[in-house]
Each structure stands twice: as C-alpha cells, then as structure tokens.
Chain A
Amino acid sequence: MAGNQKTGKVKKAAAKAGNKGGALKKAIELDDIYCHSEDVVVRTIEDELILVPLVAGIGSVEGEIYALDETGREIWNRMDGRKTVSEIITDLEKTYQSSERSIQSDVRGLMGELATRMLIQRRTIA
C-alpha cells in the first residue's frame, strides 16, 4: 500500500489535520481495555476506514467524519473490548518491526485521541 497515490493523499490529510486535540488527549493506561463506541458507525470505503458519528457529542465539530490510515486501522481492529492496551501493543510488535517504544507511543496517541472524541469507550470490568 505504501507509496500509492491514495496513501499519499491520506498522509497529506493527516499532516494537514496535525494532532488536533492532542493537548486534551486522554491518558491511556496500559491495563485499560477499550471498545468501539456504539454511537459510531464504521464504514470501509476503498481502503479507508471511516468513522461516522451517530449522535451529538461524539467526534467534534471540526470534521464530519473521521478517517483512519493503515496504522489506525490496525490499532482500531484490535480494540475488541477484551484486549488490554498492553496486549494490543504486544500483538502489534509481532507484525511490525518498530521498537516497542514507538508502537506504544502510536497506540496511546491514537487511542487518546479516539477516547477524547468519545469514538471509543473504556470498558469497566465489574
């Protein structure tokens, strides 16, 4: 996928979007378990994963919908409401060559943004 025109456009959009909301990003603990919000409809269009907020208060006013790139999809698809953040990171380490620190940074960064926008929810274990 790397290097094709559409990936280039996604990266350009990501760069344009920057890390909005980063300052307010929720802290993600390694033992936490997250699941997708029930108030988000997940669409796959071409090779993009698109999150469409269903109810008010989900997402933010800056965009109507949210696109996740390849990395985002890998992380999103592992948030099954059972795996801890730490287990997701370990799982990703098996697939990617990057360092644990780098993967952890990406996972916590993305999940922090998703949680801030209420696109994912922390699961409370009874």
Chain B
Amino acid sequence: MSASGGVTPRAESRTRLSLRVNGEPVEVLFETYKTLLEVLREDLGLTGTKHGCELGECGACTVLVDSRPVLSCLLLAAECEGSHVRTVEGLAQGACLHPIQETFADLGAAQCGYCTPAMLMTACALLEKHPSPSRGDIRQALSGVLCRCTGYLQIFEAVEAAERRIRENSPGGSEGGG
C-alpha cells in the first residue's frame, strides 16, 4: 500500500477495536470479516441482540450506535472504532427495568420475543429523540423491525404507555408534558 499518513491499515486478518458498549469501555480482538452482530454475540457474549435474516430484511439485530438504531448484521464491526453501542442488555439499571421493558411486559407486546430486543432499542431511541411521539411517528420508527406475532398494536400501545410512564416519573411529573 503506497498510501500513508493518518491511515489505519488493517491488512491483518484480525482487528483490535476500542469502543463503548452499554457505557463501558471495551477492547475486543476479532476476525475482520465479522459484523457488529457477530462480535457482540460471539466475542462479547451479548446474545440479547438477535440474529435474524442476516440481510437487512427483518430488523431483529437492531442496536443503537451513537444513539441511532442500525442493523448490526450489516455493519462491519471494524467500522465501529470509538462508537458507543447500546444493546438490550444495557436497558435495565440493575434490577430496575427500563419503562419500555415494563410496558412491553405489562401489555403483552412480546409473544415469541425474537423481535423484542430490536423493538425495545428502536422504541428507546425514538423516545429519547421525540419525547412525545404520535402514533404515526411510532409506526414509522418501528417500520424497520418485523414482528410476526403481535400484529403490532400491543407494541404501539406499549411505546405510548412507556412515554406516559417516563413523563410521569420525570422531575416535574406530568405537568407540561405532551
């Protein structure tokens, strides 16, 4: 390679990467051909993120990279240097579930559960960006994750319920919300 200067050549078959996963700094060595999904599940032991179609046709592998929902099956892990990756394992704080997890459980928004981590992460990103999303916003945000069990209605209702719960639990309570 004739190019040099500020370049990070990774011609070897394995790549070493520093990133943050669920707030923790992580250094990981992995086969360069691996996607973020493969590294999360196989090298970091985080199997909450599900392996679906492998081709970007189902959304089951959704994680948040720098707060945006993306498909970890299509993102080479080598691309994630310095990124902050959030997975479903990072939602709960100790024994305390995230409000979106509580409402999914309360309202039956999970049946087989395979799409649930992706739905949770997508909904979490939506609520962080749009604290009071309309039903249309929720439908559009979740349109990148397929669910073959619930018919989506319970999922939409769970996202709306989580939004209310977050608002009621925030300083200042429910006043001024909406």
User: Do these two chains interact?
Assistant: no
Interface residues of B (CB under 8 A from A): none
